[in-house]
Structure 1
Amino acid sequence: MRAVQYHAFEAPLELVEVPEPQLPPHAALVEVAAAGMCRSDWHGWLGHDPDITLPQVPGHEWAGTVVAVGSDVHQWSGRDRVTAPFVCGCGTCPMCARGQQQVCERQTQPGFTHDGAFAERVVVHHADANLVRLPDHLSPSAAAALGCRFATSFRAVVQQGRVAPGEWVAVHGCGGVGLSAVLIASAAGARVVATDISAGALALARDLGADVCLDVSELADEPAAVGAAVKDATAGGAALSLDALGSLATAAASVHSLARQGRHVQVGLLPASLGRPQLPMDLVVAHELAILGSHGMAAHTYPLMLAAVASGRLQPQRLVTRHVGLEDAPALFPEMSTAPVPGITIVDVRP
């Protein structure tokens, strides 16, 4: 099958022919229709993930059709249209038993623990616990965005962040995760302030429902100043603030943006290679702030999100700004290092 692959970290990627993946008894083989280019894929290519062994096929947010299942898979069969969370649980560990597959102790992640979805076919381990059936009306490109960025943002805003109508929500970083958070928070009736250093990203944020858009390009290295700008725009600070990018500066800025008893949710990855953020713990104590993490979303919780999509209240397709073919995917990785395109780029694996 055709696949995009890299043989060394930060080395050029290539479109190559590779053997079709082997199918374990508990897994499903999925023919990929579309896959999203995510910042997490870029982190993996840079060598920030210790689970990656080389060579690697990236890609962890996708939509496709089941073509084969292992002998231990009972809930799925060929031709089912599916996606899956980027974190796939084992289904049997204590966390999975509690329904918290997104923090499974033995989790697998296509594109990281094994070959991913920038390929014509991908394997999903423990398929009965991880596959999600797609509604007939949902296009492959819209569905591909659900597996990581949109679902991750949905859980961060709705489940972890406990957004409420009328609250101010601050979103730091308007990439795919941040724009998804803007759309979701706005649909929940919250007022949203978005921050970024890109005028194009902020324009998209405004289109998706942000009430206030702050260009912080001159304050990017001053988290307290960014926080002060958010507090000024919201007349006191956000009840909920998310670092949707994953940087030392945006993590600290998010905490500085909070009103008293506000909630910070760390969504963007902060690999150890970047260092440790200097969070204002004095404010955490004095203002009784909550610091939360959010890591994907378990497959069994997707119906609530899909119901909102089916009703038209949430429209993930609005986040898609570009389509490319599988042969164009290798160029997306260095592009993200220098000039990332606002919104979500979809790789049409099966045109």
Structure 2
Amino acid sequence: MTPTMQAAVLIAPGKFALREIARPEPGRGEALIRISRVGICGTDMHIFHGNYAAENLPMIPGHEFTGTIAALGADVDGLRIGEPVVVDMNIGCGTCFWCRRNEILNCPDMQQMGITMDGAFAEYISVPARLVIPAPADVAPEVLALTEPLACVVRCARKANITFGQSVVVLGAGPIGNLHVQLLRTIGAAPIIVADLSEERIEMALAAGADVGVTDPAKLKETVLAHTQGRGADVVIESVGLPALYEQACELIRKGGHVAAFGITGAGETLPLDILRTILQENSIKGSVAGMGQDMHDALTLLTHGRIDTTLFTGASYPLADIQRAFDSFADRPQDLKTQIVM
């Protein structure tokens, strides 16, 4: 008989179905991963609500995952059955111009686990072995499942060339905003200013290492100027995905400053841009959304050595059978910066 497994299939926007389906078998160059933990990402919520990748439904979402190797296909070296791993969810061809530059999202053949193809809200997943990263056995699975979201933040900081002593504004104090704050603190950015409408999340951001928190949008610009000697911020990270916030970000940077475009907007949404000012002030905007390649390795290293306080990210979990409830209640639990599905 063909082995089976439980999987949560998003059959339509807002509707999961728990199904018994065939368990994948690892092909040549692949590894079968027995999944232990999967984080719910903001992208997963966009997919759940039908705002992103709806053309790929029905589909098994989930891409922030960790597990152990259950089986190996032919021609796989350097991995062993039973060891804990994390997985880079971005699959490129591996040979094109963009893949060689670790810009895999631009690969013409790019696929993403849980977004353009079936992902990790299941008991098993078969993945290219070259994307599997062995993890230390003494790091808890709930911490390892944070590798992918932290890798996204690592890549954003890398693309923005953030370094010590730089002033940075983070727009949005949700899960990713909190990780931005913690990484910025590790890098040595100062001051770190965070803006969010939620008092509760601002308090979390301050506890995570932010220097200043702002909940009143009308006071944000004057606060930024007051803490940057009237210049404006070196870098502003938009971590929400609202065109109005992107427009505000451009007003908060200093001359020669940088906007890190991180939050995902709706398709086709645009940003009014003062082109002449951008040219004369040598301002810049650069997009970055997904961690890949070395970003994943660096994120795992940071987690392994305790550079990130993961306490606020590991308190909320649901079994796979309750995935519908986990998604339905997500917006009502702002105190839970991360929710994970446990296999």
What TM-score do the two structures reach when normalised by structure 1?
Answer: 0.87
Query: What's 2:200 paired with?
Result: 200
2:224 matches 1:230: yes
CA shift, 1:209, in A, is 0.2
SS in 2 for 1:333: helix
Q: CA RMSD in A?
A: 2.4
CA shift, 1:265, in A, is 0.9
What code does the residue aligned with 1:49 have? Y
Query: What's 1:333 paired with?
Result: 327
SS in 2 for 1:6: strand
2:110 matches 1:107: yes
Deviations 1:295-342 (A, max 9, x none): 322233434333333333334455334222222221233334566444
Name the CA shift for 1:285/1:342 in 2 (closer, same or farther; >3 Å).
Answer: farther
2:301 matches 1:299: no
Matches within 5 A, 1:1-16: 1-9=5-13, 11-16=14-19
Q: Aligned pair count?
A: 337
Find the partner of 2:71 among 60, 68, 73.
Answer: 68
Query: What's 1:242 paired with?
Result: 237
What code does the residue aligned with 2:209 have? G
Matches within 5 A, 1:1-351: 1-9=5-13, 11-50=14-53, 52-124=55-127, 126-128=128-130, 130-147=131-148, 149-157=149-157, 159-191=158-190, 192-216=192-216, 219=218, 226-235=220-229, 236-272=231-267, 275-336=269-330, 340-349=334-343
Name the CA shift for 1:202/1:6 in 2 (closer, same or farther; >3 Å).
Answer: same
Paired residues of 1:261 and 1:290 also in contact (CA < 8 A): yes
Name the CA shift for 1:53/1:38 in 2 (closer, same or farther; >3 Å).
Answer: same
d(CA) in 1 for partners of 2:101, 2:302: 25
d(CA) in 1 for partners of 2:105, 2:291: 5
What TM-score do the two structures reach when normalised by structure 2?
Answer: 0.89
SS in 1 for 2:62: coil
CA shift, 1:150, in A, is 1.0
Name the CA shift for 1:96/1:73 in 2 (closer, same or farther; >3 Å).
Answer: farther
What code does the residue aligned with 2:329 have? E
Moved more, 175-184 or 309-318: 309-318
Name the CA shift for 1:132/1:51 in 2 (closer, same or farther; >3 Å).
Answer: farther
SS in 2 for 1:262: strand
d(CA) in 1 for partners of 2:47, 2:25: 23
Gaps of 5+ in 2: none
Paired residues of 2:259 and 2:285 also in contact (CA < 8 A): yes
Name the CA shift for 1:281/1:15 in 2 (closer, same or farther; >3 Å).
Answer: farther
Larger radius of gyration: 2
Paired residues of 1:231 and 1:259 also in contact (CA < 8 A): no
Gaps of 5+ in 1: 220-224
CA shift, 1:180, in A, is 0.6
d(CA) in 1 for partners of 2:212, 2:44: 30
